[in-house]
Structures are given as C-alpha cells and as structure tokens.
Amino acid sequence: MISDLFSVTVLVGILASGIRLATPYLYAAIGETFGQRSGVLNLGVEGQMLLGAFAAFYVALTTGNLGLAVLVALLVGAIMGLAMAFVTVNLHAQQGISGIGFYLFGLGMSDLLFQKMLGTVETVKGFPKIHIPFLSDIPGLGEIFFSQNLMVYGAYLLVPIAWFVLNKTTLGLKIRSVGENPEAADSLGVSVAGIRYFTIVLGGTLSGVAGASLSIALLNVFQQNMTSGLGFIAVALVYFGGWRPWGVLGGALLFSMVNSLQLWIQVLGIPIPSDIAVMMPYVLTILVLVASVSRVRGPSALTKPFERED
Amino acid sequence: MKKTVRLFVLFVLLALVVGACGTPATEAPAPVEPTQPAAPTATEEPAATEEPTATEEPVAEEPFRVAVVMPSAINDLAFSQSMYDALLRIQEEMGGESMFEIVYSENMFVVDDAAAALRDYASQGFDLVIGHGSQYGSSLQEIAPDFPETSFAWGTTVDTFGLPNVFAYEAASDQGGYVNGVIAASLSQSDIMGVVGPIETGDAKLYVDGFVLGAKATKPDLQVNVNYIGSFSDVALASEAANTHVSAGADVLTGTAQMVVGAIGVAEENNVLWFGTQSNQTSLAPTIVVASQVYHWEVVLAEMIDLIKGGTLGDQSFVIDLANGGEVIEFNPDYTVPEEVQALADTTIQGIIDGSITTK
C-alpha cells in the first residue's frame, strides 16, 4: 500500500493537485507580502477574498464574461484595500484588530449579497483548462504543469514579477525602506503614507483575485464562507516564506503538496486515521516555522503606525 | 483626540459587521436579536408577525412558533436546507405563516453563539426550539432545564439526556447511502468509486459506511476509496479530493455535507457520475447527478408538534428512514437509469423497508 504512493499516477496526481491548491494562497500571500514589507499587517485577507470571490462569481454568472469578472474582483479587492489603508495609515488604527474587523465585514457582506442576489448555490462556467500545445503532451509533466487554467498560470507568473519589483526596482526599495525604517525613508522624501496606500491596495486587489481564482477558475461555485480559513493561512505563509516571494512560493507549494499527499494517503487506503492525515500540512507548517524562525527577521516597522514628528 | 477617532472608526466597522452580516461574528448577542438581522428573507418577518400575536392574543388561535438554529446556510443544498425545507412544507400544510411561525438563525458555526441564540429563543416563548446540529447538544442540555415550558429538539442524535422537554432526532442515512451504493456500483464501469466526506463522525460516517456496504453487496470486488477532508466548509479541498478520486480511476463519486459543491463541479468537469445526500443536488450538475437521498424531516417534526400540542414536551427520540418516508431517494429526471438498475434500486429500497436488508 505504501509502495502505491510511488506510482506515476499518484505522483502526478499529487503534484497537479498541489499546484492547483497553491494558487489562491499565492495570489493572497504575494499581495500580503507587499503590505508587510511596507510595515502593514493585513488580517483582512480572508474577507477581501470572499468579496472578490462573490463579485467575480456574480459577474461571471450574469454576463458570462470572465475577463470582466476578474476585473470586478480586482476592483472590489482594491476598494477593500483602500478602506483598510485609510483606517491603518490615516487613522493609525491597530492593524491586527482592524484587519479582523475587515475580515468579519467581508465574511458577512459576501454572505448577505449571496443571499440577496443569488439565494442558492449555483455553478458557473469558469476558466477552462488550457492545454499548452506539445508541452501538455509530455507524459506526467504535461498534466502537472501545462494543463491548468489561466488563473493558475497567472499565480505562478506573479512570483518572479513580485520578486523583481521588490528587489530590483526603486519602488521595491521604497517599499522595503518604509517597512524597515519609515522615519529614515520619510526624511529622504519617500511618502510613507503613499507607499503604504499602494501596497495595501495592491494586497487587497490580489486578495480579490485570489477569491476569483476559487469561484470562477478552480471551483466555479460560490458558497458562504467558501474560503474557509485560506486567507489566514496565506498570512501565515508570508511569515513562513520569510517575507520573500520565492519563500512564499515554497511555503505555498509545500503546504499544498502535503495536503494533496494526505488526500492520496486516504484514497490508497494507507491505514492512517483521517483525523491524523488532515493534520499533516498544519503540523508540518508549524515545524518548518519553528525551525526557520531564528533565521529570518521580519520588517522592523511591521504593525507600527507611522506618525510624522514635526 | 486621535484615539477617539480610532475607536470611533472601529466601532463603526464593528457595527457594520453586526448590522449587515448574515453570519455570527464573535459578538454573541448580534445574531440572536429577535428582529433577525441574520435572516432577512422575505418569506418570514418574525418582528412583524410577532406583534399581532401579542396584542390579539385572546381572539384568534395562536400560531405554533418554531425557532431553529442551524450550523450552515438555509440554502446550502445539504444539511441545513433539509431542515428549512421541511419546516416550510409543514408551514404550508398547517395553513401558512399565520398558523405556523418559523424563525431561524443560520451559519451558527460558533457553538457559543448558537447557545446564546437557543436561550434567547427559549426566553421568547417559542413552542419548539430546534438545535439542528449535534454540536449543540451540550448547550441544550444546559439550557433546557431552565425553560421547562418550552420544548427543545436537537439532532442528529438519539440522546434526549432523559430530559422531559428535549426531543432527539436522527436520520438513518446509512439506508439511503446503501441504496445509492447499490445503484452506483451497478453503474460503475471502472469498478472504482470515490467518496468525499467531511469529518469521520455522525451522519456523514453513517452515510459513507452505508454507501460502501451497498456497493460491496452489489459488486464484492469493487473498490470504494473514502476520503475525509477534515472540514465541513473547505470547498477547495473537497474539490481536490474529488480530483484525487478521478485520478485514481473512479467513475462514480458521492459525498456528504455542504462543502461537496466543490466536488460536484469536479465530477461534472470529468463527466463522472454523482450521488447526493441530505438535499436534492440535481440542480448543481443536471447531467451527472443520478440520484439524491433527500431528508424529509417533516415526518418527525409533525410527530413532535402533535406531541407538544398534546402536552408532551420531550423525552422521545425519532428517526427518519426509508420506511417512514423521512428519507426519499429522488432520481434526476434528466438522467436515464437502465431499467434493470432501477428495478434493483426498487427491490433494495423494499428490502430495507421490510428489514430483509441490513444497512449497518
């Protein structure tokens, strides 16, 4: 039975599942990385995802236009981001608490809209799987990497872009300096408020897309509270990945692969109780986090509101 | 000054959440307001119907008043919806809102909030207060003795705690599971089937075990892969579990609880058959849903209501099953089941009803 795990079908299955499962984490966690690198912790990711998921689903259902659906999810996420930015940057609200406020708002609002505008669980025609010519015919690898839907590819494309922006551009430098030492950045003429507005809105936007990747690409259905804690895991993955896009990618993949591994363990009838199996990804995450915590240091100004001293 | 502004904004935010949301947040009192911000459905307006009954008390016959607390949404196409639909059917039978009043709190996945709601309903003098979820049992055990005039019901369970005002109800979901398993096995060509379950307990475990038993009874060599994802709400993981089953060669899937909507999508995408339970799930994927075991709680609810009217407030437990009509196998009219399979399904149902087939 254990040896079944190493058959090609199973390995391909685990990897392909893992790649899909990691998609919403990637969008949300990359967005959160930008926010945290500039010193803002946004715990409202889950709420932004839910609203983005609903918005995208609703637009896709009523218009059938998937591009428009993603755009609306982007917008909804951005608006949520703007509100979060106003509360944390202008009003200096405690970030953790206000983030939870936004989470609850998103949870309740998406539920309310769902009840008022749809009323029942429905399905929608989402992004189809794209089989990249030739590459998707490669045995194994083809199914894993080259037969996914557009939003999956988008998530993985985002990682190098985020890395480039954060590390190789002036904007990235500003973001990092605002997160490390806002006073110094301010004295050099960097607008701390402006940068934080940018990163929080970007984070909200990507969270909205993360929601859309669930409701119109991976699942093609909307249900109340369908993110089911995904947004919070995304926040944890930012810590896990040491505030670096590649680290986030590694964390998201590890978590998702172990999750799909445990699905296979049950399917193959390997005698591990299901309760233990479903714990695996979480236990592993905690272990890696504990092992790596001394290695990386987070942005110094994380969660600290910036108040200019005149 | 700054502090007050901050506090004010937070307060406004929280107020927004409390006011607008349909889900119980961590603020316990919010979801249990008698005006029901959580349940703004047009069909019942508790606040509106309550007042006339209070003022015109002596004139007309008082309506029977039921309050129900549910773990997920009334339209989840699964557990909660099965109860809500049953209450609506009873309401229709009894002559509408003026005779039968329904008030509900949905999405009460936080047990503390649910307990507050249950107590609140009890103190409002409802005739029957239902905690629709086995997680609400210990709360009811605590609350029920404080309201000896109010009848409580909870499920799925058989345990009334020996209290004179607590009813218990459960579904013999293994029976419908067995029938689904028999039909599924007959239709499977790869002889591999997959099950997406939530947590290995209660109603879900009964259904899954029944399904496996029915399948094995039909084709002993058939393989049923069972997967519990450890969550009632993780739609994404449920969908990936279904993907896993399909990769493992399954050509028939089933699953239970509200997160299976994700799995049904995967089944449809891969053109794999689906068997539903709790509510009729045909509408989600009309091409691949073969049959659903549907709960008709009204069968036991009607009994409870009669008992309550007669002065018995509890200490009895009820089961819905195929025999009493509380469980019905509803076929998808758009999916044609071969005649011999339909015949086998009918004899199986008959066999379970007359006791010649055991499903546990």
Whole-prediction pTM: 0.83
Closest-CA residue of B relative to A11 is B247
Q: Is A21 on the interface with B (CB under 8 A)?
A: yes
Q: How far is B25 from chain A (nearest CA, A)?
A: 7
| Whole-number Å distance between alpha carbons of A295 and B107 | 41
pLDDT in tens, A241-270: 999 999 999 999 999 999 999 999 988 888
At residue B316, the 3 state secondary structure works out as strand
**Alpha helix positions (H), chain A:** 8-37, 45-63, 66-85, 95-117, 141-145, 150-168, 170-180, 182-187, 192-213, 230-240, 245-267, 274-292
| Whole-number Å distance between alpha carbons of B262 and B73 | 16
Judged against a pLDDT cut of 80, whether residue A152 lies above it is answered with yes
pLDDT in tens, A216-242: 999 999 988 899 889 999 999 998 899
Judged against a pLDDT cut of 70, whether residue B290 lies above it is answered with yes
Instruction: Say what the pLDDT of residue A294 is.
Output: 63
> Average pLDDT, whole number, for chain A?
91
Give how far Cα B58 sits from Cα of A209, B43, B142, Å.
58, 26, 33
- Single-letter code of the amino acid located at B231: S
pLDDT in tens, A36-89: 999 999 999 999 999 999 999 999 999 999 999 999 999 999 999 999 999 999
Element (H or E) spanning B132, and its range?
A: strand B128-132
Domain B28-49+62-155: top CATH class: alpha beta
Judge whether B256 and B197 are in contact, CB under 8 Å.
yes
**Both tokens of residue B289?**
């849903």
| Whole-number Å distance between alpha carbons of B150 and B62 | 15
Instruction: Say what the pLDDT of residue A137 is.
Output: 86
Judge whether B226 and B215 are in contact, CB under 8 Å.
no
Judge whether B151 and B300 are in contact, CB under 8 Å.
no
Q: Give the closest of A17, A119, A225 to B240, CB-based.
A: A17
Number of residues assigned to chain A: 310
Kindly determine whether residue A105 and residue B17, on different chains, have CB atoms separated by under 8 Å.
yes
| Whole-number Å distance between alpha carbons of B250 and B192 | 5
Instruction: Say what the pLDDT of residue A2 is.
Output: 66
Kindly determine whether residue A275 and residue B5, on different chains, have CB atoms separated by under 8 Å.
no
With a pLDDT cut of 70, the percent of chain A lying above it is: 98
End-to-end CA distance of chain B: give it in Å, rounded.
67
- Single-letter code of the amino acid located at A45: V
Listed by start position, the domains of chain B span: 28-49+62-155, 173-294+327-354
Confidence of residue A19 (pLDDT cuts 50, 70, 90): very high
Judged against a pLDDT cut of 50, whether residue B49 lies above it is answered with no
Q: Is A279 on the interface with B (CB under 8 A)?
A: yes
Best to test chain B binding among A10, A15, A263, A265 (most B CBs inside 10 Å):
A263
Judge whether A55 and A73 are in contact, CB under 8 Å.
yes
Judged against a pLDDT cut of 80, whether residue B73 lies above it is answered with yes
The overall longest dimension of chain B from CA atoms, in Å, is 79
| Whole-number Å distance between alpha carbons of B352 and A83 | 59
Q: Is A24 on the interface with B (CB under 8 A)?
A: yes
Judge whether B174 and B360 are in contact, CB under 8 Å.
yes
| Residue owning tokens 């008390």 | B57
| Whole-number Å distance between alpha carbons of B352 and B204 | 19
Q: How far is B55 from chain A (nearest CA, A)?
A: 32
- Please report residues of A whose CB lies closer than 8 A to that of B9: 87, 91, 93, 98
Confidence of residue A307 (pLDDT cuts 50, 70, 90): confident
Dihedral (CA of B85, B87, B93, B99) sign: negative
Kindly determine whether residue B225 and residue A269, on different chains, have CB atoms separated by under 8 Å.
yes
Q: What residues of chain A, 26 to 85, have a C-beta less than 8 Å from chain B?
A: none
pLDDT in tens, B253-279: 999 988 899 899 999 999 999 999 998
In the Cβ-directed half-sphere of B67, how many Cα atoms lie within 13 Å? 27
- Comparing A200-204, B34-38, B216-220, the range with the smallest average pLDDT is B34-38
Instruction: Say what the pLDDT of residue B11 is.
Output: 53
At residue A242, the 3 state secondary structure works out as coil
Dihedral (CA of A111, B76, A277, A250) sign: negative
Judge whether A165 and A171 are in contact, CB under 8 Å.
yes
Judged against a pLDDT cut of 80, whether residue B58 lies above it is answered with no
More confident residue, B59 or A152: A152
Element (H or E) spanning B17, and its range?
A: helix B2-20
Sheet holding B223-228, edge to edge: B223-228, B192-197, B252-255, B273-278, B289-295, B327-331
Judge whether B84 and B76 are in contact, CB under 8 Å.
no
Please tell me what DSSP assigns to residue B358. -
- Please report residues of A whose CB lies closer than 8 A to that of B231: 228, 278
By C-alpha distance, which of A169, A220, A206, A194 is closest to A29?
Answer: A206
Q: What residues of chain A, 87 to 146, have a C-beta less than 8 Å from chain B?
A: 87, 91-94, 97-98, 101-102, 104-105, 107-109, 111-112, 115-116, 119-123
pLDDT in tens, A163-188: 999 999 999 999 999 999 999 999 99
Give how far Cα A103 sits from Cα of A132, A198, B108, Å.
37, 20, 17
CA dihedral B48, B52, B53, B56 (to 10 degrees): 180
Residue-wise burial string across A169-183, b where 16 or more C-beta atoms lie within 10 A, e elsewhere: eeebebbbbbbbbbe
Instruction: Say what the pLDDT of residue A284 is.
Output: 85
Per CATH, the architecture of B173-294+327-354 is what?
3-Layer(aba) Sandwich (3.40)
Instruction: Say what the pLDDT of residue B56 is.
Output: 44
B350-357: which pairs have CB atoms within 8 A and are 24 or more residues apart?
B352/B175, B352/B178, B352/B179, B352/B321, B352/B322, B352/B323, B353/B322, B353/B323, B357/B178, B357/B217
Judge whether A19 and A152 are in contact, CB under 8 Å.
yes
